């Protein structure tokens, strides 16, 4: 049955309170009702297709749903407060269902929680996988871009000589790559020494 420290009243005057607390008016608490469209959808799925539900009956079901939610919430809040917590967890709700002798609901609620947690885990895993794929794609794009510090300048020599290649990251760091390349090219293009032939004619 009900927990000893929790009292419930469905009258318009008193809401669910602790025994040590001052009863509060239920004018605002008991006004809660789920959307009527949702209630009608639940009734349609739960009842045979040949059964019709009147407008007044739908309103009464909606009111009963609101009272039941407040009823469970009050009991779950007791479990949370006993554990010195301000947040009601799913385990508090399950404990409340059993405490209020609705044990037949427990298997359905536990199965729903398992599916819900599995779906949330799948969403988190998919999001993490997409983030990793995006990071890997970005790394691949960055690796394809040449490093400007290691760019090479190719200067073709004259007369069929081997091209001279200069690296911008030269050892000294002071000379420009073009100057290094031209200096190397000049060394390779030194003119050969001229040969002089002396001919002496006889008398």
| Domain containing residue 95: CATH number | 1.10.20.10
CB atoms near residue 138 (< 10 Å): 10
Let me know if residue 199 belongs to a domain.
Answer: no
Looking at the fold, whether 139 and 154 belong to one and the same domain comes out as no
Residue 201 lies in a domain: no
Local confidence pLDDT in tens for the 203 residues of the chain = 444 444 443 433 334 444 333 334 444 555 778 889 999 999 999 899 889 999 999 999 999 999 999 999 999 999 999 999 999 999 999 999 999 999 899 999 999 999 999 999 999 999 999 999 888 888 777 776 666 555 555 444 444 555 544 454 455 555 555 555 555 665 555 555 555 455 555 55
**Within a domain: 203:** no
* Whether residues 40 and 72 fall in one domain: yes
If asked whether residues 63 and 112 sit together in one domain, one would say: no
Domain end marker among 101, 124, 158 = 101
What is the total count of domains within the chain?
Answer: 3
83 shares a domain with 68: yes
d(CA 125, CA 93): 27
* Cα–Cα separations (whole angstroms), residue 132 to 143, 188, 195: 17, 52, 72
Asked whether residue 194 is domain-assigned, the answer is no
Residues 30 and 62 in one domain: yes
DSSP state of 149: G
Q: Where are the beta strands (DSSP E) in 94-157?
A: 152-155
Backbone angles phi, psi at 144, to 5 degrees: -75, -20
Spatial separation of the C-alpha atoms in residues 9 and 15, rounded to whole Å: 6
Residue 48 in any domain: the answer is: yes
- Quote the pLDDT of residue 176: 56
Quote the pLDDT of residue 107: 92
Structural domain includes residue 114: yes
Same domain, 10 and 97: yes
In this prediction, residue 14 carries a pLDDT of 34
How far apart are alpha carbons 5 and 59 in whole angstroms?
A: 31
> Does a structural domain hold residue 74?
yes
**Can you say how many angstroms the Cα of residue 103 is from the centroid of all Cα atoms in its chain?**
36
User: Is 140 within the bounds of a domain?
Assistant: yes
81 and 141 part of one domain: no
164-167 and 152-155 strand pairing: antiparallel
CA–CA dist 198, 33 (Å, integer): 124
pLDDT recorded at residue 124: 94
Are 93 and 109 found together in one domain?
no
Same domain, 156 and 139: no
User: Do residue 97 and residue 16 come from a single domain?
Assistant: yes
The boundaries of the domain holding residue 169 are: 148-188
């Amino acid at each position: 049955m009900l927990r000893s420290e929790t009292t419930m009243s469905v009258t318009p005057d008193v809401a669910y309170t602790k025994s040590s607390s001052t009863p509060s008016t239920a004018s605002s608490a008991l006004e809660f009702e789920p959307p009527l469209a949702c209630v009608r959808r639940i009734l349609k799925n739960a009842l045979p297709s040949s059964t019709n539900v009147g407008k007044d009956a739908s309103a009464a079901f909606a009111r009963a749903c609101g009272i039941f939610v407040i009823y469970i919430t009050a009991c779950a809040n007791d479990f949370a407060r006993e554990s010195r917590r301000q947040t009601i967890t799913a385990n508090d709700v399950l404990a409340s269902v059993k405490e209020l002798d609705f044990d037949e609901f427990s298997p359905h609620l536990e199965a729903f929680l398992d599916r819900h947690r599995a779906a949330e885990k799948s969403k988190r895993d998919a999001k993490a996988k997409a983030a990793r794929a995006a990071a890997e794609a970005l790394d691949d794009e960055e690796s394809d871009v040449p490093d400007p510090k290691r760019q090479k300048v190719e200067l073709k020599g004259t007369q069929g000589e081997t091209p001279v290649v200069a690296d911008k990251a030269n050892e000294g760091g002071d000379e420009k790559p073009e100057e290094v390349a031209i200096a190397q090219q000049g060394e390779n293009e030194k003119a050969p020494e001229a040969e002089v032939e002396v001919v002496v004619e006889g008398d």
